[in-house]
Chains A and B, each alone.
Chain A
Amino acid sequence: MQALIALVAGLLFGIGLLMSGMANPTKVVGFLDLAGNWDPSLALVMAGAIGAALPAFTLAKARRQCWAGCDVALPTATRIDAPLLLGSLAFGVGWGLAGYCPGPALVSLTMGSMTAVVFVAAMIAGMAIHALLTRPRSPA
């Protein structure tokens, strides 16, 4: 049941990305180009998404169980630390260079884009590097 709900959520997310313009790197960079000919569209993507998700997260905070019977796993970290800041800054630089963030890059894989294939391969390599560097060390 949990997997079925996740499948529908993934599908909905993908259609939302396509409809919104997020899957077009040129449109994304057009939004990030504040000093140029600025396309404000993507601010509306964020406004629409938060408008729709905010009531659900407010409700989720008060619930222990999800509809599928599982626990509600909201993030527990609250510290604003160097990894959060430096990681987010690095992500922003990569996003600005290619116009892809993780969701749109993945969706673009099945749009037949070789550009997305190269980007996603590099992105997964980056995530794997992080997993290697942060893996728990076995006691000596």
Chain B
Amino acid sequence: MSIAWDAFTPWSSLAGGVLIGLSAALLILGSGRVAGISGIVGGLLKPGGPDTTWRLAFLGGLLVAPLLWRLFAALPEAQPVAGGGMLVVAGLLVGIGTRYGSGCTSGHGVCGLSRLSPRSLVATLAFMGAGFATVYVVRHLLGA
């Protein structure tokens, strides 16, 4: 391992993380709900599911964020790493996996760890471990 110091963005990443944490804090104290993105979207897919209004409002805010950002500054760089069929496979795995696993980086990673849930700690270790292993296989064994 070597550290990619040229790519390292400690301050913007820390500041962005604090905003994400404040968002989760606002949602749990203000609206009494957990800011788990996969759960918020997944809940909309169940016919007659509860809490449709706040779910749509939260997703609306999420989707408006880049539009608002662009009024003041250029959008940050975003380079894709996968295309075509790989993207579809990855999307399906993320969709099915986060629903069976009851959460993703936000629900388990941010909110679950913040409420000291052992279940979320296990889930976070599992998806982080799988992410590390996948990138290792793709980049260093298959050389893609």
Q: Which residues of A contact B (CB under 8 A)?
A: 2-27, 29-30, 32-42, 44-61, 63, 65-68, 70-75, 77-80, 83-103, 105-111, 113, 115, 118-131, 134-135
Contact = CB atoms under 8 A, between A and B. Distances in A.
B48 to A, nearest CB: 11
A123 B92 CA distance: 5
A97 B134 contact: yes
A75 B80 contact: no
A130 B99 contact: yes
9 contacts: A3-B54, A35-B139, A38-B3, A47-B17, A48-B17, A56-B25, A57-B114, A68-B32, A98-B90
Interface string B16-41: 11111111111111111111011001
- The 4 A-B residue pairs with the shortest CB-CB distance in the complex, in nearest-first order: A126-B95, A14-B65, A10-B61, A20-B16
Contacts of A50: 21, 110, 113-114
Contacts of A87: 96-102, 123
Interface in B51-97: 53-69, 75-83, 86-97
Given A48-B17, A107-B62, 19 more contacts: A3-B53, A10-B61, A13-B20, A13-B35, A16-B19, A26-B81, A33-B139, A44-B13, A67-B31, A73-B33, A85-B123, A89-B130, A95-B130, A98-B90, A101-B104, A111-B78, A115-B80, A122-B91, A126-B91
What's the interface size class on B, roughly? 35 or more
A84 to B, nearest CB: 5
A67 to B, nearest CB: 5
A48 B80 contact: no
B140 A45 contact: no
A89 to B, nearest CB: 5
Nearest to A37: B4
Tell me if B's interface is mostly helix, strand, loop or mixed: helix
Contact of A6 (B31, B88, B110, B138): B31
B127 A88 contact: yes
A18 to B, nearest CB: 6
Contacts of A97: 82, 86, 89-90, 93, 134, 138
A92 B129 CA distance: 7
A15 B88 CA distance: 26
A73 B95 CA distance: 23
A91 B104 contact: yes
Interface string B112-144: 111111110011101111111111101110000
Given A85-B122, A127-B38, A30 B7 contact: yes
